[in-house]
A and B are shown apart, each in its own frame.
Chain A
Amino acid sequence: MTEPVLELHDVTKRFGDFTAVDRLSFTLTRGRILGFLGPNGAGKTTTLRMLLGILQPDSGTIAILGSSIADVRSRIGYLPEERGFYRRMRADAAIAYVATLKGMKRPAALTSARRLLKEFGLEAFARVRIEGLSKGMAQKVQLLAAVAHDPEFVILDEPFSGLDPVNQAELEIFIRKLAAAGKTILFSTHTMQHAERLCDGLVVLTNGRKLFDGTLDAARALFPRRARVGADADLSFLRQVPGVQQLTTPSADQPFWTLDMAEGVDGRAVLAACFERGVPLTHFDISPPTLHDIFVSLVEEAA
């Protein structure tokens, strides 16, 4: 399962004087789910378009399934960030059309389309034109179009955007199913909770440059654990506790004192200091940094 499905080496893409992607390298192995994260304008969509052969890199190499995109186009599924379909096409025909372009025979493509629509509870809408579907339904149809031809490698650009929480949960389950079936998945997202729950690995990009490439655990290891302490008293004295790297005072956004802890340090010293001072605590928790925190920190550091 360590066979690389996607390999980027020093890939650069410029538009005039603007460098959208700058010497980007990473590898994705078979059966894994990779989260491709970055703020707006980080170069995610440009990278995905290069993976699909829609754009050509100015330098660097891209290998997908061991070949160039031209040879493996039919083995890739793609869901673009901005969804759209032929408005007058019927749902099953739209899915089948994309699947036939990916190499399937039309009868098989139609069968696959109807099976997937049934699986997603859209059986009754199979013959409805795209313009007659709700936005959520149309997005699901487009997602199904990306996978109807049973691709080995699925690229999803912001797959959760525009979906309500129920459909987001359904999509999460679907992505897990795809991964369980041996598909390799790369998805870009702004929604860190989804990435946190789904991804085996992360690539964080900003201003076209890679900031991080590794597992979630590796990302967490880069940043201190964070303790949150609630009390009515002034806790500035905690700054003196060994292992406390930084102390942030409560604010309108969050009511707790926040302490960044050095690696290997737990919260007992903090609690002991509070007891020694006789400060009654209303809240105490200590947890690894969330992906959201990691993302924000990485992007802020890069800025």
Chain B
Amino acid sequence: MRNAFLIARQEFIKYVTRRGFFISILMFPIWVVIVLLVPRWTSGAPQRAFTIIDRAGEYRAAILDSLSREDAERDLNALARYAAANVNLSRLERAKPRLSGLLENPTTPRAVTAFQGSGGREGALSAMRPFLKPTAKPFRAPAPRFVYLEPPPELLFSPSELFASAARNVLDSGRYFAVILIPQNFGKDSHATVQYYARDLSDSDLLDFATGALDNALHKNVLRRYAPQLVDSDALEETTAVETHNPTKANSQSSRDDSLTKIVPIALAVILFIVSVMNASVLLQGVVEEKSTRMIEVLLSCATPRQITSGKMVGVIAVALLTIIIWSLALFGLMALADARTVTLVFDALGSVATFDTLPLLLLYFFCGLLIYGSVFLAIGSMANSLADAQSLLGPSMLILMLPNLLISGIMRDPNGQLASLVSWVPFYTPFFMMLRIASHPPALQVWGTTALALATTAFLIWWTGRVFANHVLTTERPPSLGGLIRRGALAVRGRRV
């Protein structure tokens, strides 16, 4: 026991004093910052400039009207966020109840219409100005997603058969992202086809926007024909308001809560994978290094193979825990710097995932996962004589270990479905999948059955690794082939030296 502890301590010190450890510790916050900042940097972009050739004569205006509403909606949303941080809302509510109401529900069509009717961005900013907090920052208007540009003459007067060529020349100029051609018969006699020219058809935002605007215009035309009194009616702006409820949770109406409740297990499982693979790889390298320097022989003269393997495992778990603690602190620190409310939300989500019932299981799955991956890597290390040898075994092993990552989205779509229930019983992957599923309340039989399976797998692999380590750590032969590997594993189980 004492020797296992001493070896664990030495392993811990050896790993945490390596440059690689510091780099991995630093890389995570940098990675998080990039993940957080890139969407911000790219939030205003890309801005798509387009033009319309409306040969039907009445649809360009409809698209531009929708464009104006789209800009107004973005302005109103941005103003709502700005007001939450910079305006004394209670005073605003008393003095400007209408504006306050718009800012509270900025996403409804009715609010957008009212916003446009009351002077838009400038009108709202003027109305807010007396209620700004002393620390208020200036408002930064969001950049429009789409910008309409007048069509160049070569498009305006291009005959239909040459239009594609003319559109290509216009797009090649780089000034326009897309050209929309509305034919003369559009909206007549069931003709509802427009032509959309763009150099990148995979970016469909503008196309979706234009299609929506034209659909609205067509619907209004129908209305104009059959119920003209309704065309400009407020009734058309009615939308369904949905109040969401999750009866399994107290006071949970927000879909964001449920999203975070799903994201947190994914994050935990992915962290398990990253930390396991990172540290288990170091474990493998350590064993290969000890084999190549013959330090392993000194260790074996001082301690039993079981003490050495368990010491190494404990050392790696300690490194993994330290890594997670530092990463968590860095993550929460960065979140607090960026937006303090996010920290509360994540804590709430963690609280809903790691409850009194599930926390012990989450920890158990985490440690089992770490030990399973660690055992596999340690066994590989004890069978390899050099890093090159280890790599030949590591590649296929990594493919096998990475498999669960490919199933995350499928599992999370239906955490208690057939696929999730089935793969949870695959011994190597049980801890990973059950971490993903535990917050979704899988059936008790599955929870306890897979927990027992995870524990049994972990115990077996630790025992098996001890045997493989004892039998192979002093050999200097070439690493085995896949068939040889399986044969060795089987023989190790039976307790025989290969």
Q: How distant is A172 from chain B, measured CB to nearest CB, in Å?
A: 23
Contacting residues, chain A, for B18 (C-beta < 8 A): 88
Contacting residues, chain A, for B290 (C-beta < 8 A): 84, 86
Interchain CB contact under 8 A, A84 and B302: no
State in angstroms the CA–CA spacing of A102 and B298 once bound together: 11
Interchain CB contact under 8 A, A98 and B497: no
User: Hey, what's the 0/1 contact readout for A53-85 against B, CB within 8 Å counting as 1?
Assistant: 111000000000000001001001010101111
Interchain CB contact under 8 A, A84 and B10: no
Contacting residues, chain B, for A202 (C-beta < 8 A): none
User: Hey, what's the 0/1 contact readout for B1-30 against A, CB within 8 Å counting as 1?
Assistant: 011001100100010011000000000000
Closest-by-CB residue of A relative to B471 is A55
Interchain CB contact under 8 A, A84 and B294: yes
Whether B47 sits at the interface, judged by CB under 8 Å, is no
Interchain CB contact under 8 A, A54 and B3: no
State in angstroms the CA–CA spacing of A86 and B292 once bound together: 11
Closest-by-CB residue of A relative to B293 is A84
Contacting residues, chain B, for A84 (C-beta < 8 A): 290, 292-295, 298
Indicate whether A101 sits within 8 Å of B304 (C-beta atoms), given known contacts A49-B474, A84-B292, A85-B295: no
Contacting residues, chain A, for B302 (C-beta < 8 A): 73, 98, 101-102
Closest-by-CB residue of A relative to B498 is A16
Q: Quick one: which of A15, A73, A78, A101 has the most chain B CB within 10 A?
A: A101
Interchain CB contact under 8 A, B10 and A97: yes
Q: Which of A49, A55, A73, A86 contacts B14 (CB 8 A)?
A: A86
Whether B414 sits at the interface, judged by CB under 8 Å, is no
Interchain CB contact under 8 A, B298 and A145: yes
User: Hey, what's the 0/1 contact readout for B272-296 against A, CB within 8 Å counting as 1?
Assistant: 0000000000000000011011110
The majority secondary structure among interface residues of chain B is: helix
Indicate whether A80 sits within 8 Å of B304 (C-beta atoms), given known contacts A15-B497, A88-B14: no
Whether A239 sits at the interface, judged by CB under 8 Å, is no
Interchain CB contact under 8 A, A80 and B301: yes
Interchain CB contact under 8 A, A70 and B17: no
Contacting residues, chain B, for A100 (C-beta < 8 A): 6
Whether A87 sits at the interface, judged by CB under 8 Å, is yes
Closest-by-CB residue of A relative to B296 is A84
Closest-by-CB residue of A relative to B3 is A101
Restricting to A36-59, which residues have a CB under 8 Å from any CB of B? 49, 52-55
Restricting to A265-283, which residues have a CB under 8 Å from any CB of B? none
Interchain CB contact under 8 A, A82 and B304: no
State in angstroms the CA–CA spacing of A103 and B295 once bound together: 18
User: Hey, what's the 0/1 contact readout for B294-310 against A, CB within 8 Å counting as 1?
Assistant: 11011111111000000
Q: How distant is A266 from chain B, measured CB to nearest CB, in Å?
A: 49
Q: How distant is B336 from chain A, measured CB to nearest CB, in Å?
A: 36
State in angstroms the CA–CA spacing of A87 and B18 once bound together: 12
Interchain CB contact under 8 A, A82 and B297: yes
Indicate whether A101 sits within 8 Å of B303 (C-beta atoms), given known contacts A15-B497, A88-B14, A88-B17: yes
Interchain CB contact under 8 A, A52 and B301: yes
Q: How distant is B470 from chain A, measured CB to nearest CB, in Å?
A: 9
Q: Quick one: which of B7, B18, B293, B297 has the most chain A CB within 10 A?
A: B297
User: Hey, what's the 0/1 contact readout for B76-102 against A, CB within 8 Å counting as 1?
Assistant: 000000000000000000000000000
Interchain CB contact under 8 A, A80 and B294: yes
Q: How distant is A52 from chain B, measured CB to nearest CB, in Å?
A: 5
User: Hey, what's the 0/1 contact readout for A221-252 against B, CB within 8 Å counting as 1?
Assistant: 00000000000000000000000000000000
Closest-by-CB residue of B relative to A85 is B295
Contacting residues, chain A, for B295 (C-beta < 8 A): 84-86
Restricting to B33-79, which residues have a CB under 8 Å from any CB of A? none
User: Hey, what's the 0/1 contact readout for B465-498 against A, CB within 8 Å counting as 1?
Assistant: 0000000001000000000000000000000010
Q: How distant is A45 from chain B, measured CB to nearest CB, in Å?
A: 9
State in angstroms the CA–CA spacing of A101 and B302 once bound together: 6
Q: How distant is B48 from chain A, measured CB to nearest CB, in Å?
A: 55
Restricting to B420-468, which residues have a CB under 8 Å from any CB of A? none
Interchain CB contact under 8 A, A83 and B294: yes
Contacting residues, chain B, for A78 (C-beta < 8 A): 298, 301
Closest-by-CB residue of A relative to B303 is A101
State in angstroms the CA–CA spacing of A100 and B298 once bound together: 13
Interchain CB contact under 8 A, B294 and A53: no
Interchain CB contact under 8 A, A53 and B293: no
Q: How distant is B161 from chain A, measured CB to nearest CB, in Å?
A: 76
State in angstroms the CA–CA spacing of A234 and B294 once bound together: 55
Interchain CB contact under 8 A, A76 and B301: yes
State in angstroms the CA–CA spacing of A15 and B358 once bound together: 49
Q: How distant is A256 from chain B, measured CB to nearest CB, in Å?
A: 43
State in angstroms the CA–CA spacing of A234 and B295 once bound together: 58
Q: How distant is A228 from chain B, measured CB to nearest CB, in Å?
A: 42
Indicate whether A101 sits within 8 Å of B299 (C-beta atoms), given known contacts A86-B14, A88-B17: yes
Contacting residues, chain B, for A76 (C-beta < 8 A): 301
Closest-by-CB residue of A relative to B18 is A88
Q: Quick one: which of B17, B289, B294, B299 has the most chain A CB within 10 A?
A: B294
State in angstroms the CA–CA spacing of A66 and B18 once bound together: 43
Interchain CB contact under 8 A, A101 and B294: no
Q: How distant is B333 from chain A, measured CB to nearest CB, in Å?
A: 30
Closest-by-CB residue of B relative to A155 is B301
Closest-by-CB residue of B relative to A73 is B302
User: Hey, what's the 0/1 contact readout for A91-107 against B, CB within 8 Å counting as 1?
Assistant: 00000011011110000
Q: How distant is B301 from chain A, measured CB to nearest CB, in Å?
A: 4
Restricting to B292-351, which residues have a CB under 8 Å from any CB of A? 292-295, 297-304
Interchain CB contact under 8 A, B292 and A70: no
Interchain CB contact under 8 A, B294 and A82: yes
Q: How distant is B31 from chain A, measured CB to nearest CB, in Å?
A: 27
Q: Which of A54, A83, A86 contacts B301 (CB 8 A)?
A: A54
Contacting residues, chain A, for B7 (C-beta < 8 A): 101
Interchain CB contact under 8 A, B298 and A98: yes
Q: Which of A87, A102, A103 contacts B293 (CB 8 A)?
A: A87
Closest-by-CB residue of A relative to B17 is A88
Contacting residues, chain B, for A80 (C-beta < 8 A): 294, 297-298, 301
Q: How distant is A201 from chain B, measured CB to nearest CB, in Å?
A: 23
Closest-by-CB residue of A relative to B291 is A84
Q: Quick one: which of A85, A86, A87, A102 has the most chain B CB within 10 A?
A: A86
Q: How distant is A94 from chain B, measured CB to nearest CB, in Å?
A: 9
Q: How distant is A107 from chain B, measured CB to nearest CB, in Å?
A: 14
Q: How distant is B266 from chain A, measured CB to nearest CB, in Å?
A: 37
State in angstroms the CA–CA spacing of A158 and B37 once bound together: 61
Q: How distant is B290 from chain A, measured CB to nearest CB, in Å?
A: 8
Q: How distant is A90 from chain B, measured CB to nearest CB, in Å?
A: 11
State in angstroms the CA–CA spacing of A205 and B3 once bound together: 34
Q: How distant is B211 from chain A, measured CB to nearest CB, in Å?
A: 64
A-B contact pairs, 9 of them (CB 8 A): A52-B301, A53-B301, A73-B303, A78-B301, A84-B294, A84-B295, A87-B289, A88-B14, A101-B302
Q: Give the 3 A-B CB pairs with smallest separation, nearest first.
A: A84-B293, A101-B302, A78-B301
Q: A84-B290, A86-B10 are in contact. List 10 more A-B contacts (CB 8 A).
A: A54-B300, A70-B304, A84-B294, A85-B293, A87-B293, A88-B17, A97-B10, A98-B298, A101-B3, A101-B7
